[in-house]
Structure 1
């Protein structure tokens, strides 16, 4: 049965979890990789499909694919 709650319908359009861009720093050989966040901290993520030195999308602690190499800007408001 379809829900009539408009908020639930809207939430179903948005994927669960936040997607972040990381730089892969190492492949661990056990199905995980080391990744560097924008703030410089290192995390371990599931997946080895993206090469070392490349940017990747990570969602829910898992590599979802290669991210494009785009210029990065920071603005103070």
Structure 2
């Protein structure tokens, strides 16, 4: 049954997991890689399809693919 709650309809359009851009700092050789986030922390993610030094999209702890190497800016609001 379809809901008539407009908030629930809106939430259904949003993805469940966020997509993160990170830089690969190392491939571990066991199907995982080390990735450095923008805030400087390093995480371990599943996947070794991208080489060291390249940017990747990470979703649900898994490398989803290569990300473009674009300039980034921090803006305070």
1:66 aligns with 2:66: yes
> Which residue in the other structure is 1:44 paired with?
44
* In 2, Cα distance between equivalents of 1:32 and 1:53: 15
- TM normalised by structure 1 equals 0.84
Q: Which runs of 5+ in 2 are unaligned?
A: none
State the 1:3 CA deviation.
2.1
**Number of residue pairs matched?**
77
* In 1, Cα distance between equivalents of 2:9 and 2:66: 29
State the 1:30 CA deviation.
1.6
SS at match of 1:57: strand
State the 1:21 CA deviation.
0.7
* In 2, Cα distance between equivalents of 1:2 and 1:52: 46
Partner deviation per Cα, 1:8-54 (whole Å, 9 max, x = no partner): 21111111122111000111122211001112221101112222111
- Cα RMSD (Å): 1.5
